[in-house]
């Protein structure tokens, strides 16, 4: 069974810092990896999706890298802002049979950026 772990569980930083959120997964036979943002009481917003054949994806101040063989992904947030405060979730899909499509999630990193 795929296990996804996210470190740290919570992070509190002043505005302007560059941040690194970590995600690891036990089964390296993934199809893709997605990073999501979840605001309190809200659904999930997709931030970045990395295919298993890719090494990284960038969107604005966000950069996600993927090392499939070692089972790791990193979300880098540059010049953090208070509006970045949210829970960040990492999720993978497996490259295998009928499980293709279902997402396996970590428990998330709760980020607080204070002014």
11 versus 89: smaller Cβ distance to other proteins? 89
66: left (phi over 0), alpha (psi -120 to 50) or beta: beta
Give the span between the Cα atoms of 109 and 115, in whole angstroms.
19
88 near other proteins, rule: CB under 8 A: no
Record the tokens describing residue 107, joined without a space.
């428990």
| Chain position carrying tokens 């990896």 | 33
Select from 25, 36, 68, 111 the one that contacts other proteins (CB under 8 A).
36
106 near other proteins, rule: CB under 8 A: yes
Q: What does the binding site for other proteins look like in residue numbers (CB under 8 A)?
A: 4, 31-32, 34, 36, 41-46, 49, 51, 89, 91, 93, 98-108
């Amino acid at each position: 069974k795929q296990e996804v772990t996210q470190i740290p569980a919570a992070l509190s930083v002043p505005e302007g810092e560059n941040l690194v959120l970590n995600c690891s997964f036990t089964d390296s036979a993934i199809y893709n990896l997605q990073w999501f943002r979840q605001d309190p009481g809200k659904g999930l917003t997709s931030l970045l999706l990395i295919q298993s054949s890719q090494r990284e994806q960038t969107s604005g101040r966000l950069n996600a890298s993927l090392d499939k063989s070692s089972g790791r992904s990193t979300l880098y947030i540059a010049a953090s802002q208070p509006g970045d405060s949210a829970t960040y979730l990492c999720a993978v899909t497996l490259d295998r049979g009928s499980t293709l499509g279902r997402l396996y999630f970590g428990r998330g990193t709760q980020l607080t950026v204070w002014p």
